[in-house]
Amino acid sequence: MSPIVEPLLAELAQEAQTTRRLLERVPGDKLAWKPHPKSMSLGELALHVATIPGNVAQLFANDTFEVPSFEQPSAKSAAELVPALDESVRSAKEALGSWNDQKLMAIWKLLKDGKVLMAAPRVALIRPFMLNHWYHHRGQLTVYLRLLNIPLPSIYGPTADENPFASA
């Protein structure tokens, strides 16, 4: 395994635990709920959050990716979210752990109708495409849950609902 990947894998594992705590709180009876007509449904967003690491690792497996027309799938039940996260993280760890420095430094291209939209070394894109993208949508998910009056777990510190630093 490339030493470049080791801190990314450690971060992935740590953040997966935080994401798990959030996904465990998604209410199964509210999966179709949307905060706005232009927004994803709770089920779409939660499944997206659960699957980002593995899906991004799959995108980076090849040297190019052609942007398809795409519709975000929705979770059919809340019970599928944590297993989807577990599989996604497992897949991402397996892919990242198998890449050597040459693969990480190789140029990866994002294409639309054969036209290059972006080209950069794979290693430069892992954080923004996989991790930052994941955190962004996880943050959206906290807003959805707050609007549904679901207690929020601690993520990087206390929430109004949970304070891991308070005395018992």
pLDDT in tens, 40-68: 999 999 999 999 999 999 999 999 999 98
Question: What is the chain's mean pLDDT, rounded?
Answer: 95
Mean pLDDT of 105-123: 95
pLDDT cut 70: percent of the chain above it: 99
Average pLDDT over residues 145-152: 97
Q: Write down all domains in the chain, each with its CATH number in brackets.
A: 6-147 (1.20.120.450)
109-133: average pLDDT: 95
Helix (H), strand (E), coil (C) string for the chain: CCCCCHHHHHHHHHHHHHHHHHHCCCCHHHCCCCCCCCCCCHHHHHHHHHHHHHHHHHHHHCCEEECCCCCCCCCCCHHHHHHHHHHHHHHHHHHHHHCCHHHHHCEEEEEECCEEEEEEEHHHHHHHHHHHHHHHHHHHHHHHHHHCCCCCCCCCCCCCCCCCCCCC
- Sign of the four-CA dihedral 65, 56, 106, 120: positive
